Structure 1
Amino acid sequence: MQVKKIFAGMLVVGGAVASIAPAHADQLADIKGRGELSCGVYSNVEPFSYPNAQTRQLEGMDVDLCNAVAKQLGVKAKLEPLAVEARIPQLKLGRVDIVVANLAYTKTRATQIAFSDSYYSTKEVLVVKKADASKKLTDFAGQKISAADGSTSAQSIPISIKDGQAVTFHDTSSAFLALEQNKVKGFVTNQMTATKIAKQVDGTDGAVAIASEPMLIEPIAVGLRQNEPAMLSAVNKALASMEQSGEMSGIFNKWLGPKTPYGLTRTDKVTPIDQLKFTPVS
């Protein structure tokens, strides 16, 4: 009988202790508590995040975005350089708080992580010979189109060109060479790479043009851990504030805008991904 009373007392005390134990703080509270936002960025991909040749400190569009988001949250940014393939795993493992590394939305990624609102959209585009500059995507039905193996560019070919025959190569340079050698009728790559290539060969016999219709539109957003609603809301609020103040456009123009080698014009605003019209890839 005495043993039962003691055991019952232990249950009561244990219950009391359990009831007063602090609940695990959410991610946003953890970040604010330590005063630091761990931000996963590319280790060396221009113009997003790469070491400055003189200082060896990371700089780039994504570095500026990380610092700006951290400032909006009232903390300091801690940059964590990541390999391209490590972006999602490191985020899922909790080794970084967020990923800002030109991260495109895909169906597969959306099952693994959460995405913020999109802050700009990149495009996969079709590069063609100058003579084909006025043609539409439908005009390339059934044609051979090159792209880098395993890329979103390659995935876009059967999506955007009816019966398009994807011819893939180990790298972008080889895929472009196939167009130059007339082995394919077009070459698919991202808009920034296409713009640089077009400028490099302009005025030569191998001059190319970018088709007016994009092959694919890819929303770029901040990657976050799943099931952290307060953190997701805070990041979206930060992005909206940066949009409203003009800071977002300033960062974009500094690294990708008309006065840069990429020559892009930002037409997108910070927008929830589910409000965008695009065909997501797997």
Structure 2
Amino acid sequence: MNKVITTLLTAATLLVSASSTAADKLTIATEGAWAPFNYVDSSGTIKGFDVDIANALCAEMKVECKIVINDWDGMIPSLKNRKFDAIVSSMSVTKDRLKQVDFTDKYYSGGLRFVAMKGKEFKNDPAALKGKTIGAQRSTIASQYLEDELGDVVDIKLYDSQEKVYLDAQSGRLDGFLSDELPTHAWLQSDKAKNFTFTGEAFAKDDIIGIAVRKNDKLKGKINKALATIIANGTYAEINKAYFPFTVY
């Protein structure tokens, strides 16, 4: 009997230990191809605004933070299959996504904006865009807008990553492209984008960016609490300042 009790106690201890270990560590996914929000530098290190926010949240929650890269198209399926605990990858909160996952409070907001070569005739109204080839990253708010609003007007080219959109624009295979304003703002500061400019004002500025977690996961509440804290104590502002000369919140 004593041996049985000892065995049960040992098993229970191991279960508690395993549970504590899981609770003390979060695996967070990001795309790694959406600079300056998430990208991989020349040394292979994952960096960016999203990454810094994720690490700040983990620090506030006092958990170990493991950042992993996942392809954009497979983000939500992989989250649902428990390959990681949350997505911090500039993901917009949409009705379709809310059917599959839960989102935390916003951690920044953005808008859409067209980009074209400087000196090139490019107006943002449907009549002027008719017949033009416009690019966007697949499965984004930008691609959804093009398909919903301009699908019968323009030739839409979709790409697996934003970097491929930039490359085709630079190669002259696109008349222009549509993207989130904030990452494109950073790209336009680079030498390789010196021949490009925004055209028109930003729109769809009610675009809310949140952190995705599995349905009914209590992690949502913990992240919301940590997010409110880093906003209140100035940590968020310091991260913001490192990437943008204006607030993105």
TM-score normalised per structure 1: 0.64
Contact 1:194/1:210 (8 A) holds in 2 = no
Larger relative contact order (Cα-Cα within 8 Å, sequence gap ≥ 6): 2
2:179 alignment counterpart: 189
Is residue 70 from structure 1 mapped to residue 61 from structure 2 by the alignment? Answer: no
Aligned pairs (5 A) from 1:1-282: 34-43=23-32, 46-54=35-43, 56-128=44-116, 130=118, 137=125, 140=128, 142=130, 144=132, 146-148=134-136, 150-152=138-140, 153-157=142-146, 159=148, 164-168=153-157, 171-173=164-166, 176=169, 184=175, 186-191=176-181, 192-193=183-184, 196-197=187-188, 200=191, 206=195, 208-214=197-203, 218-228=207-217, 230-254=218-242, 256-258=243-245, 265-268=246-249
C-alpha distance after superposition, 1:14-38 (max 9, x if no partner): xxxxxxxxxxx9xxxx568642222
SS at match of 1:227: coil
Q: How much has 1:207 moved relative to structure 2?
A: 5.0
- Cα distance in structure 1, aligned partners of 2:33 and 2:22: 30
The one-letter amino acid of 2:244's match is G
> Distance between the aligned counterparts of 1:251 and 1:133, measured in 2?
37
What SS class does the counterpart of residue 240 from structure 2 fall into? helix
Q: Is the 8 A contact 1:113 1:226 kept in 2?
A: yes
Unaligned runs of 5+ in 2: 1-15
Equivalent residues of 2:122, 2:199 under 8 A apart:
no
CA distance in 2, matches of 1:246, 1:96: 28
- Displacement, 1:145? 5.2
SS at structure 2 position matched to 1:214 = strand
Q: Shift in Å at residue 193 of structure 1?
A: 2.7
Unaligned runs of 5+ in 1: 1-24, 259-264, 269-282
CA distance in 1, matches of 2:158, 2:77: 27
Question: Per-residue displacement from partner, 1:113-133 (whole Å, max 9, x unpaired)?
Answer: 111111112332112455689
Q: CA RMSD in A?
A: 3.9
CA-CA distance at 1:60 after TM superposition: 2.7
**AA paired with 1:222?**
I
Once residues 244 and 103 of structure 1 are traced to their aligned partners in structure 2, the CA distance between those partners, rounded to angstroms, is 23
Q: Which has the larger radius of gyration?
A: 1
Give the C-alpha shift of residue 216 in structure 1: 6.2
Q: CA deviation at 1:218?
A: 3.1
